[in-house]
């Protein structure tokens, strides 16, 4: 049906209809995402993070298999962002990231107990609130799936870009980090199929650093690498325009958007 509509309706009209639909969806979400007490508290907390790390560097730790080839112990005294089920690595590391982010409803719903127990500041999607109640260190971001943008002020609407890594890049920018280094962002999946389709894992996870990351019975969505590339290019442009940089130190990573650097050379 969607393909038939695209054939029958002129592209300019489709673009107008799409923008109107996005505007409607954003408008519908806006009141609660602005005035709900949880969001008001989140906005107040987020304000205290503006440029808190101006001029410093940080590492955004992805969850790809390459993380098992990376000497993460070198990050113990660095500013770091962990995401989604990164906490499965904490016993091996002996330390925890500075910040945590998760915006996918399926991840938060199935991992709410573990996420809620994390002690570091947590940045979660506002639309995930039915699955998790806030703690003192929880901040809800008004993230959306539509309306591509790079938000320089995360107190307002934040486009997810299909991946929590993009949200972390926007958080790092807001906090003032001068240099952001990606590790474990493999940008390569053995599980392939329709982008964003929800599937149920049938066994050990081969696409993340831990076999139980999305282990047997876990519901998750197939990646949309094309959308991720679009988002990452927006992030690169925003950082470069601000005189800052994002570099990629992922060992063997397939992402081609950011300049590559050898991980060990950073220390």
pLDDT digits over 160-201, tens only? 999 999 999 999 999 999 999 999 999 999 998 999 999 999
Which stretches does DSSP call E strand in the chain?
Answer: 57-61, 79-83, 99-102, 122-125, 138-141, 143-144, 158-159, 179-183, 198-200, 219-221, 245-248
- Convert 137-160 to b/e letters by CB count within 10 Å (16 or more is b): ebbbbbbbeeeeebbeebbebbbb
Rg (CA), the chain: 18
Query: Looking at the predicted structure, is the pLDDT value of residue 18 above 70?
Result: no
Domain chopping of the chain, boundaries: 11-266
What pLDDT sits at residue 33?
A: 81
Token couple for 112: 């709410």
- The model's confidence at residue 9, banded by pLDDT at 50, 70 and 90, is low
Residues in contact with 39: Cβ distance below 8 Å, sequence separation at least 6, in sequence order: 32, 33, 126, 140, 142
Average pLDDT of the chain, as a whole number: 92
């Amino acid at each position: 049906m969607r393909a038939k509509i695209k054939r029958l309706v002129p592209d300019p009209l489709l673009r107008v209809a799409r923008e109107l639909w996005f505007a409607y969806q954003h408008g519908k979400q806006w009141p609660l995402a602005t005035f709900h007490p949880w969001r008001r508290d989140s906005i107040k907390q987020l304000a205290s993070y503006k440029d808190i790390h101006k001029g410093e560097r940080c590492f955004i730790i992805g969850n790809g298999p390459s993380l098992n080839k990376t000497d993460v112990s070198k990050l113990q005294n660095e500013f770091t962002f962990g995401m989604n089920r990164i906490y499965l690595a904490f016993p091996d590391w002996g330390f925890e990231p500075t910040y945590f982010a998760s915006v996918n409803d399926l991840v938060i719903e199935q991992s709410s107990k573990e996420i809620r127990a994390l002690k570091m500041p947590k940045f979660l999607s506002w639309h995930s609130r039915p699955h998790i109640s806030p703690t003192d260190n929880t901040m809800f971001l008004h993230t959306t799936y539509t309306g591509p943008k790079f938000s320089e002020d995360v107190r307002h609407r934040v486009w997810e870009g299909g991946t929590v890594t993009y949200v972390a890049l926007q958080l790092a920018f807001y906090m003032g980090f001068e240099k952001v280094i990606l590790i474990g962002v493999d940008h390569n999946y053995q599980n392939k199929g329709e982008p964003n389709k929800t599937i149920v894992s049938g066994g050990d996870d081969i696409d993340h650093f831990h076999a139980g990351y999305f282990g047997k019975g876990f519901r998750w969505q197939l990646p949309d690498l094309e959308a991720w590339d679009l988002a990452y290019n927006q992030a690169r442009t925003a950082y470069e325009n601000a005189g800052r940089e994002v570099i990629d130190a992922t060992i063997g990573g397939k992402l081609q958007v950011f300049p590559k650097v050898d991980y060990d050379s950073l220390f």
